[in-house]
Amino acid sequence: MLTSHAMGLRIEGTYTALVTPFRDEPGQPIDWAAFDALVDAQVAGGVAGIVPCGTTGESPTLSHEEHGQVVERAVKRANKRVQVIAGAGSNSTREAVGLAQHAERVGADAVMIVVPYYNRPSQEGLFRHFVDVAASVRLPVVVYNIPGRTGIDLAAETLVRICSFAGNVVAVKEATGNVLRAQKLVQTMGDRMTVLSGDDALTLPMVACGARGVISVTSNVLPAEVTRATRLALEGRQEEARRAHLALLPVHDAMFLEANPGPVKAALALRGAAKDVVRPPICTATEATRAAVAAALDAYVRGAR
């Protein structure tokens, strides 16, 4: 079986679930200047990679044309300085195949495929979906399991079966919120599958169980700090990793006081990095959440001095 290492791509460390900045104008067009600056900030912060067009990137409200533009722009702006794992998921297998193939054509390093949402396929349907998408490209595939948003859980047994048929499925973004589930995947899959935390607040305990990194929301705002905390954990520097993780925990919590990416866009706006604009049905963060986000960031910065 191929692994991410065998395919020439080491999936490990901090990956930023990149927001898609919008301009505060009619139609809320994409703010490409802010997007480019955000990618550059991630590179400067030392992240291993960026993940455009995931949930944090508001992919459900991007048109097909915008989705393609975001992935292509991310690849060009990253310019091989960091990996680009392009979000290419859909609740339509045909659409996911098209998105994955487009990502491959424009030079993405890998694709991330979310469990199909809303239509609640059976485990057999999930198996066929991921095998079909993986067979359509040569890129490494990261499976994204987040039952709280999709309405269906990809069973560990189904993931094992997928991997037995699709050698380029090499990693899973585990966002069930269940550390026991994560350690079971590590135990079952060993080196065959890289497990990444899908929850910032669980990165340290998941790495302790064998996960190899995180796809992070907080790193949009604090890329260097999240990168450092993840690196300390991966290096087994337990006490330093614990301190770094716990210092970030209030910021992680603030990022999810409301529907993502409302709070993280509020945080970016506080830093002048992007407009506080989200597309409906997501709402901008309330004043109370904005205040909580500002307080968490201020406290973290003061504590880091």
In the numeric block, which tokens belong to residue 303?
């504590």
C-alpha torsion 241→246→248→249, nearest 10: 140
Dist CA 194 CA 172 (whole Å): 6
Q: Is 117 a catalytic residue?
A: no
Q: Is 144 a catalytic residue?
A: yes
Q: Is the dihedral of CA 186, 181, 179, 108 positive or negative?
A: positive
Find the catalytic residue in 15, 117, 144, 300. Answer: 144
Q: Who's near 48: CB < 8 A, 6+ residues apart?
A: 11, 12, 13, 14, 15, 82, 83, 213, 227
Find the catalytic residue in 76, 117, 118, 173. Answer: 173
Q: Are 133 and 141 in contact, with CB atoms under 8 Å apart?
A: yes
Q: CB count, 10 Å around CB of 125?
A: 15
DSSP letter for 58, please: T
Give exposure, 165-181, as e/b (b: 16+ Cβ within 10 Å): ebbbbbbbbbbbeebeb
Task: Give phi and psi for 214, each to the nearest 5.
Answer: -145, 145
The residues annotated as belonging to the active site are 144, 173
